[in-house]
Amino acid sequence: MGLKRMDNVGIVVEDLAATIDFFREVGLELEGRATIEGEWAGRVTGLGDQRVEIAMMRTPDGHGRLELSRFLTPPTVADHRNAPVNALGYLRVMFAVDDIDETLESLRKRGAQLVGEVVQYKDAYRLCYIRGPEGLLIGLAQELS
């Protein structure tokens, strides 16, 4: 039994189209969209009768994916988008970018807000957290070497 890869990170959103546009601006490519429903889907998630729109977004290198989900039924029940960076559980996704300042400028046009500040870690990285669409926490890292 060996691990092959991590397939994707799932994010539940309310506005699928705006979130797709935001992550396109980050640099991800839309791989596909579908509506998932039926008895088998509810058995996997434990939600019973469910209907969900999904969009699969792929990083340019083809190795990383985000699965964006908008639940039609049942409705979403909890919201942890405003949790601080030290909250328990899955919290954020981080992207490596070529130019953190250019990326921030581009994403601010889509409503992104800097959480703290852009900082430099030794001579290795410039890093920051932003709040993206619907308050999603996203990390950006620019390698300096």
Given this chain, do its domains 9-73 and 92-143 carry the same CATH topology? yes
Spatial distance between the Cα atoms of 55 and 119, rounded to a whole number of angstroms:
32
* Angle separating helix axes 100-108 and 16-26, nearest 10 degrees: 150
What is the C-alpha radius of gyration for the chain, rounded to an integer number of angstroms?
16
pLDDT for 104 equals 96
| Range 38-67 average pLDDT | 92
Q: Which two tokens stand for residue 76?
A: 């979403």
The sign one gets for the Cα dihedral 81, 64, 31, 114 is positive
pLDDT for 5 equals 83
According to DSSP, the residues that pair with 138 across neighbouring strands are: 93, 130
Out of 3.80.10.10, 3.10.180.10, 3.40.50.10490, 3.40.1390.30, which CATH number does the structure's domain 92-143 have? Answer: 3.10.180.10
pLDDT in tens, 99-139: 999 999 999 999 999 999 999 999 999 999 999 988 898 99
Q: Is the pLDDT of residue 3 over 80?
A: no
**Domain ranges, ordered by start, for the chain:** 9-73, 92-143
Spatial contact of 19 and 69, defined as CB atoms under 8 Å apart: no
H/E segment holding residue 103: helix 100-108
Whether domain 9-73 has CATH 3.10.180.10: the reply is yes
